[in-house]
Structure 1
Amino acid sequence: MLVQILSAVYSLIMQGIDLYRIALVVYFLLSWMPGGYQSKLGQFLIRICEPYVGIFRQFVPPIGMISLAGIVAFFALTFIEYGVIAVFEFIINLLIQIG
């Protein structure tokens, strides 16, 4: 029973990460469109993406006029995903061995 609950939570987290990854891509693409961030979608994406990308802007300096913080944030999300996978696989395997 607990393994099924953890599997469902794992699935929800993975879907959330995938949705956030899509939101980041759309957020980055909006920067190429004049007035893209002034739209309702742009304002929504600023609220959900900027706090995460802003963390990387503090550490990743721009090269000329190009900010690489978004690319680093995108790849960091992939590493976070790998970490979540490893933790859940470990916990589920441990529960299967115990039960």
Structure 2
Amino acid sequence: MQQFITVFFDVYILLIVAYVLTSWIRMPYSLHRVQRFLDDVCEPYIRIFRRVLPSFGPIDISPIVAIITLVVVQRVLVGVIERLQ
């Protein structure tokens, strides 16, 4: 179970990183489906932090806070599971 949680969170973190990178780079038309997929998967979670965090002009720190939150939750969940076993 610990390994599943670790892999799940790691994959989601990688998807957020890919989402951020694709927002900076103009993607060819053939990869718009990938960009839409990343948007559909990552944007609802990141939007939570955009609503709460103040605006820093063109700099969006919500993905960073979202990733840090995922890492903290992952460590807490793995710690709880370790104690239960």
Let me know the Cα RMSD of the aligned residues.
Answer: 1.5
1:6 match: none
Aligned residues: 83
Counterpart of 1:85, as a letter, is V
Q: TM-score, normalised by structure 2?
A: 0.88
- Which of structures 1 and 2 has the bigger CA Rg? 1
Counterpart of 1:72, as a letter, is V
Structure 1 residue runs without a partner (length 5+): 1-8, 93-99
Pair 1:48-2:41 in alignment = yes
Q: Percent identity over the alignment? A: 31
User: Which aligned segments of 4 or more residues in structure 1 are displaced greater than 6 angstroms?
Assistant: none
Q: TM-score, normalised by structure 1?
A: 0.77
Structure 2 residue runs without a partner (length 5+): none
Pair 1:18-2:10 in alignment = yes
- 1:53–1:69: 8 Å Cα contact kept in structure 2? yes
Residue among 21, 24, 29 paired with 1:32: 24
1:31 is paired with a residue whose SS is helix
How much has 1:35 moved relative to structure 2? Answer: 4.7
Counterpart of 2:51, as a letter, is Q
Counterpart of 1:57, as a letter, is R
